[in-house]
Amino acid sequence: SQTIHQWPATLVQPVGSPLSLECTVEGTSNPNLYWYRQAAGRGLQLLFYSVGIGQISSEVPQNLSASRPQDRQFILSSKKLLLSDSGFYLCAWRPTFPGGEQFFGPGTRLTVL
């Protein structure tokens, strides 16, 4: 069976500090991978998605970036965090055979102070 991991689970960072969140998927190959941010009262916002190693599409211009160095690894980064980067960050994967459903990880709660 497939599982998706995210770490860290929670993170408190000062404004201006760097960020690295990691997501890995087990039990599948060549998944589509997604990063979302969920802010209170604003629903789920798609930040990045990737259909393969090194292939990143950005949905929202911001100070965040994403990378996919390995088939089942997806990383979300920032060089300098802003207060507005606080939120619940979710990684998701989707199998490559036809279908729309995505499966989410447990999330990382980021607080920028």
Partner 1 sequence: QKEVEQDPGPLSVPEGAIVSLNCTYSNSAFQYFMWYRQYSRKGPELLMYTYSSGNKEDGRFTAQVDKSSKYISLFIRDSQPSDSATYLCAMSQGSNYKLTFGKGTLLTVNP
| Residues lying near partner 1 in the complex (CB under 8 A) | 6, 32, 34, 41-44, 46, 49, 51, 59, 88, 90, 94, 99-107, 109
Minimum Å gap between C-beta 14 and partner 1 is: 23
Which C-beta is closer to partner 1: that of 42 or that of 54?
A: 42
Q: 42 with 61: CB under 8 angstroms?
A: no
Helices (H), the chain: none
Distance in angstroms (rounded) separating the CA atoms of residues 14 and 47: 22
When the beta carbons of 54 and 100 are compared against partner 1, the nearer one is 100
Which tokens hold the place of 39?
């802010």
DSSP conformational letter for 85: G
Q: From the CB of 110, what's the least distance to partner 1, in Å?
A: 13
Give me 64's structure tokens: 């965040």
Whether the upstream peptide bond of residue 8 has omega within 30° of 0, thus cis, is yes
Judged by beta carbon, residue 61 or residue 101, the one nearer partner 1 is 101
Nearest-approach distance from CB 77 to partner 1, in angstroms: 20
Our CB check for partner 1 shows the closer of 56 and 88 to be 88
